[in-house]
Amino acid sequence: MDTAKLLTEFVTGSIRLVTKGNRYYWAWIALLLTLIVSGALAYWDQVSEGLVTTAMRDQVSWGLYIGNFTFLVGVAAAAVVLVIPAYIYHWKPIREIVIYGELLAVSAIVMCLLFVVVDIGRPDRFWHLFPPFGFLNFPGSLLAWDVLVLNIYFVLNFVIVTHILYRAFHGKAYDKRIVVPLVLLSIPMAVGIHTVTAFLFNGLAARPYWNASILAPQFLASAFCSGPAILLLVLQLLRRFTQFEIRDEAIWKIAELMAYAMFLNLFLHGAEAFKEFYSDTEHLLYTRYWFLGLGEHRTLVPFAWTAVALNTLAFFLFVIPATRRNWITLNIGCLAIYFGVYIEKGMGLIIPGLTPDALGEIYVYLFTSHEFRVAAGVFSIGFLVFTLMLKVAVPISLGEFQRARAA
Amino acid sequence: MTVPRPENDLDLSRRKFVSVAAAAAAGWLLTSCGPKRLHDVPRDRLMERIREMEAKYAEELGTAVTVSDAGPLPGVEFAYALDISRCIGCRRCVYACVEENNQSRDPQVQWIRVLSMEKEGGVDFSDSDPYYDPETVPEEGHFYVPVQCQQCQNPPCTKVCPTGATWTEPDGIVVIDYDWCIGCRYCMAACPYGARHFNWGEPHIPAEELNTNTHYLGNRPRPKGVVEKCTFCIQRTRQGRYPACVEVCPVGARKFGNLLDPESEIRYILENKRVLVLKEDLNTLPKFFYFYGT
């Protein structure tokens, strides 16, 4: 078989697919490209002037970028929620949509890696992390672990989806001997990327707010609601704008699973809040800063309670069968989870973790417009990658985009 | 056990070629490409690297900067002691440190942070004030706790560095390789003493204020985007001098010496005074002690 010819056929076909679309598609692409250009310009300033263009300082040395990174690791881990029932319990309706979970994981990891790159002070030295030219402090540094597991998870998901789609492109079913073991491996890997990311914070005794062993389970619980929340919205859009069929019961099943995950998330948060407030040690300071404010410093308080309200609302909407089967309340629930977890895992984790700082100073961090533009640019790159992959993947799995059959 | 088959000539020459090529590649990697971390650079190659640094500074700054390669002295482990009962909070140490160690003036970087605390509250960071600004110091009812790198024996900062750009030298000084740091700031999150500082912008030092007497692991000028911190004035102390902050202190609150020398002042303080370390429960084992001299 002439592989080169097949590949050319696949590439030219894909290009034809992504350059075809209706008004909404082009408006969406134009929006993403605009945000990417704006982000790139802001990043250029950041590279030439240094991280002074951000609001981060010695006191609060991580901010919006690392918050987004943490949130997106959760989104990337979320594919597993769909994978477990699909492959272990042979639950058919979810099985056909697993591939979109994996595409989402790939796009999320792209954003994760970009957020790390934009956060570091010397992106020109990124290669210092990669042996043999660089030096990776493994197993000492949890950041080294994170670099490893994120890249492995990325490759794993990329290989799975590429294999399935490439076979489908040739009109063949995927090879079970390859896909099933890889999918099974991706389950512990998904748990792994989020556990390692939690440990990255968890291991720092200098920051009592992070130094709680509840952090990793709570990361997993919140990830298992935020990732599927995005996916549920995407699946509905797909169903609307393509021939793709997704059965209602698959969507409802995912929503039900999300309700349990959200319950666990709220429970673990409650457990941590109880410990802090009841024992009332000097470590309460950080939790207090998030929920109640310290003195006149109350910037984060509205965000904290918004997150709690959104997460609680979403839990009730998803646990009650009538509201999770109603499309309006279901979508309200999805948005509530997305923003609730985004606040809680982003600024709710990073900022109180670092405020007050190690010597007790309160530096009020609020990201700058430069930081916001860079972050929006990174998100846009991720969404663009996701959109383009969907544009190719959907016709393939529908059997609309296939290699011309030999006579 | 199977008897190995004699190899034919072709195999042998190929194997030989492969091993020679591998050795050559490894050699090339080790010499021209690596090791790049100053931590791994052998001493003979270190001098080359230092000459390169000096040449670069001469070109960029237009002044001759000497970069010392002084290594740790055998039988020496440095330690510091600060007399809380004497410190008057004048911050002379802060500015002497900035000048000695070439910290950026704009944006401002300061390795020493003096905290004003209330006598009634005791040592309590959450109630401390680093920005106190009265007409005269000391203020009634206040005492002062200057904080800088505590040179921990069990440092959380070096452990977390993903590229191994920071480590403890044999004389106990925790140092940073400014040419290897990627600026991820994980060490800053890990440090319980706020001792690590980041160059958020391009550091600026007026040419006439530059201290040209530097050390490769210490006060040589830093680029933007990397972390820096107190090195016990490695450029001075490895030559038997006191750190700048010890010399400048007008009330003699700062003591410095060799922990391994039983006759040293630092040993006398540890054995005879009421000594404490900051955040003892974190098991960082600081070599920076605080004591009540009176």
* 3-class secondary structure per residue, A273-324: HHHHHHHCCCCHHHHHHHHCCECCECCCHHHHHHHHHHHHHHHHHHHCHHHH
Disruptive mutation site among A56, A137, A202 for chain B (greatest number of B CBs within 10 Å): A137
Interface of A with B in 293-352 (CB under 8 A): none
DSSP A53: G
CA-to-CA distance for B290 and B115, rounded, in angstroms?
14
Cβ <8 Å between A135 and B198: no
- Full-model pTM: 0.92
What is the domain range of residue A276? Answer: 3-398
pLDDT confidence band for A361 (50 / 70 / 90)? very high
Whether chain B has a CB inside 8 Å of the CB on A62: the answer is yes
Cβ <8 Å between B156 and A206: yes
Name the percent of chain A lying above pLDDT 70. Answer: 97
Q: Is the peptide bond before A356 cis (omega within 30 degrees of 0)?
A: yes
Cβ <8 Å between B225 and A52: no
Which residue is associated with the tokens 């109603």? A326
- Write the residue in A51, A136, A147 that is nearest to B200 by C-beta: A51
CA atoms within 13 A on the CB side of B146: 28
**Is the separation of the CB atoms in A17 and A401 below 8 Å?**
yes
Q: For chain A, what is the mean pLDDT?
A: 91
Which residue is associated with the tokens 């591939």? A99
pLDDT confidence band for B15 (50 / 70 / 90)? low
- Work out the average pLDDT over B77-89: 97
* CATH number where A236 lies: 1.20.1630.10
- Write the residue in A121, A140, A142 that is nearest to B226 by C-beta: A121
Say if A407 falls within a structural domain.
no
Say if A404 falls within a structural domain.
no
Question: What angle (nearest 5°) sits at the alpha carbon of residue A253, between those of residues A250 and A255?
Answer: 110
**Is the separation of the CB atoms in A56 and A62 below 8 Å?**
yes
pLDDT for residue B146:
98
The total of structural domains in chain A comes to: 1
pLDDT confidence band for A405 (50 / 70 / 90)? low
Read out DSSP for A218-265? HHHHHHHHHHHHHHHHHHHHHHHHSS----HHHHHHHHHHHHHHHHHH
Which residue is associated with the tokens 């690297």? B49
Which residue(s) pair with B66 in the sheet? B213
**Is the separation of the CB atoms in A38 and B213 below 8 Å?**
no
pLDDT confidence band for A9 (50 / 70 / 90)? confident
CA-to-CA distance for A160 and A180, rounded, in angstroms?
9
Between strands B142-147 and B113-118, the pairing is antiparallel
- Work out the average pLDDT over A220-237: 90
Q: What is the SS3 string spanning chain B?
A: CCCCCCCCHHHHHHHHHHHHHHHHHHHHHHHHHCCCCCCCCCHHHHHHHHHHHHHHHHHHHCCCCEEECCCCCCCCCEEEEEECCCCCCCCHHHHHHHHHCCCCCCCCCCCCEEEEEECCCCCCHHHCECCCCCCCCCCCCEEEEEECCCCCCCCHHHHHCCCCCEEECCCCCEEECCCCCCCCCHHHHHCCCCCCEECCCCCCCCHHHCCCEEECCCCCCCCCCCEECCCCCHHHHCCCCCCHHHHHCCCCCEEEEECCCCCCHHHHHHHHCEEECCCHHHCCCCCEEEEECC
Cβ <8 Å between A129 and B182: yes
- Work out the average pLDDT over B251-277: 96
pLDDT for residue A338:
94
Say if A124 falls within a structural domain.
yes
Q: Please, which contacts does A331-334 make with residues 24 or more away whose CB atoms are closer than 8 Å?
A: A331/A232, A331/A233, A331/A236, A333/A229, A333/A255, A334/A229, A334/A230, A334/A232, A334/A233
Cβ <8 Å between A143 and B160: yes
Pick A12 or A207 by higher pLDDT: A207
CA-to-CA distance for A71 and A73, rounded, in angstroms?
6
Say if A295 falls within a structural domain.
yes
CA-to-CA distance for B227 and B199, rounded, in angstroms?
6
Residue B113, CA distances (Å) to A14, A265, B93, B109, B121 in order: 59, 39, 9, 10, 19
Say if A406 falls within a structural domain.
no
- Work out the average pLDDT over A253-270: 94
List the domains of chain B with CATH numbers.
91-242 (3.30.70.20)
CA-to-CA distance for B293 and A292, rounded, in angstroms?
41
- A351 contact partners, CB below 8 Å, separation of at least 6: A60, A63, A67, A290, A300, A365
Which residue is associated with the tokens 């319990």? A89
Say if A403 falls within a structural domain.
no
Whether chain B has a CB inside 8 Å of the CB on A45: the answer is no
pLDDT at residue B156 tops 90: yes
Structure tokens at B238: 């490895």
pLDDT at residue B272 tops 60: yes
